[in-house]
Chain A
Amino acid sequence: MAKTSSTTKDAQDLFHAIWSAYSATPTNLKIIDLYVVFAVFTALLQVVYMALVGTFPFNSFLSGVLSCVGTAVLAVCLRIQVNKENKEFKDLAPERAFADFVLCNLVLHLVIMNFLG
């Protein structure tokens, strides 16, 4: 019993440590994270729906899920590039990174609309 409570406490400590560390993240990165979570959650919701009603409009399912996944991937790319602590992209202006992100999103949604059926 004592061991279990100590495990729970460890987990709580760990969670608090992570949360306090994450709180230090700049707000613009937090917004991106929220956006990624929204996209992944929508993708999961569709997978559950597909498991319930079947695969029939399979192209629609694929485009729905892939639009979420693609959005999440592009947002993560943006996050890497606008992160100040990431030295790899220190020469790249955040405006340029955002422009890339917008362009890629336009292409992605064009393809998705084409495939949605």
Chain B
Amino acid sequence: MAKLIFLILTLIPILCTSFSPDKPSDRRILVLVDDFAVKSSHSLYFKSLQSRGFDLDFKLADDPKIALQRYGQYLYDGLVLFSPTIERFGGSIDAAAILDFVDSGHDLIVAADNNASDLIREIATECGVDFDEDYTAMVVDHAGYAVSSTEGDHTLIASDDFIKSDVILGSKKIEAPVLFQGIGHSLNPSNRLVLKVLSASPTAFSANPKSKLTSPPSLLGSSISLVSVIQARNNARILISGSLSMFSNRFFNSGVQKAGSPTKHDKSGNEQFLTELSKWVLHERGHLKAVNVKHHKVGETDEPSIYRINDDLEYSVEIYEWSGTTWEPYVADDVQVQFYMMSPYVLKNLANDKKGHYFTSFKVPDVYGVFQFKVEYNRLGYTSLSLAKQIPVRPFRHNEYERFIPAAYPYYGAAFSMMAGFFVFSAVHLYNK
């Protein structure tokens, strides 16, 4: 018994750190599969997650005991849906529960397939991604297919049309093309948060590879997205792929040669592409935090409760990026602060000392009212920063105006001469009787 208490006591600090809001990376991930065979056929991908400290919980998607939350607390920080054919989840999970999971700031990885169910399609549609409505369609590319020993139907395509973003795909360039076999999707044009990470080549189209093409395919060319990501306004991240097999060990390890290209790569780009992408989706990269927002008058250190018009002030904020283990200083030269009342009166770039400390100084405009210091930082791949701090600005006090201005001496003289005149006149008026 004493041993058990000791064990619990030693576990408490470890458990506490897992709830720390200061560590944005997900730790506990629920993986829903159609069949436990996926666990071994896609083991390389899962291993890369586990080696980075993620705690994977494999469940069958129709397991009646699965649940995302208990007593209002989410049991997981991330959800991986490797169950493209599931029509109905077991337990209490449905599409609305998964969207609530995302709405509360958790991450989601969805892989569909050429027999993707309506449920998976519905989840994708809610995220701003529309899979081809033709259930038999796959992405076919007769010019950009991956060369293989058998001629095949050109549904196994080698794509290298990546999004140009170091923060999403890592700074190391992905040399080998990525193997893809599955269904294509288009992005909902009204959704501005969804990004095409891997798009099909201009010669690709989405149709049933087994039947003759009678009508023009609905999805064509590079408007087809193969892999997309969404960063929601609450900074939850979603990855949607039209292919489950691209995560498999077979695709990770197979060599790739794109049709028409002389170079044959020994290893496809899948492993690097999907590992780097999972780092982004699970908040190991591109997650910013802003702390220590400070402002004060030049030459002072205390934050005033009110500024006067034309005061000189200094503003500073610290911005850090989560590297998966620690908070690293974030270095950029495009962070701006606004001094805002209905519209920005001052808009200034913040200088930084390469240690995450951003600062600037400016003069309060000659307008009084209730202002805000605002930092709105939205960059591709980074979580959005939105800081607002309210501060009132007052006009000069009655005794703060400039006195004895030389240019005003004639006016002073006039006013005093009127007073003197009044005395003289009064005397003359009274004695002139």
Contact = CB atoms under 8 A, between A and B. Distances in A.
A98 B430 contact: yes
Contacts of A35: 421, 425
Interface in A28-79: 28, 31-32, 35, 38-39, 42-43, 45-46, 49, 53-54, 56-57, 59-61, 63-65, 67-68, 71, 75
Contact of A64 (B403, B411, B430): B411
A45 B428 contact: no
B7 interface: no
B418 A68 contact: yes
A113 B408 CA distance: 13
A117 B401 contact: yes
**In this complex, which of B407, B410, B414, B429 has the most chain A Cβ atoms within 10 angstroms of its Cβ?**
B414
Contacts of B407: 53-54, 56-57
A27 interface: yes
Contacts of B48: none
Given A60-B412, A64-B412, A42 B432 contact: no
Interface in B414-430: 414-415, 417-419, 421-422, 425-426, 428-430
**Interface bin, chain B:** 20 to 34
Interface string B391-405: 000000000011101
Contacts of A65: 411, 414
A39 B421 contact: yes
A49 B410 contact: yes
Nearest to B419: A109
11 contacts: A35-B421, A35-B425, A38-B421, A42-B418, A45-B410, A54-B407, A57-B405, A57-B408, A64-B410, A112-B415, A117-B408
Q: Which 8 A-B pairs have the closest CB atoms?
A: A64-B411, A60-B408, A57-B408, A60-B411, A64-B414, A67-B418, A67-B415, A35-B425
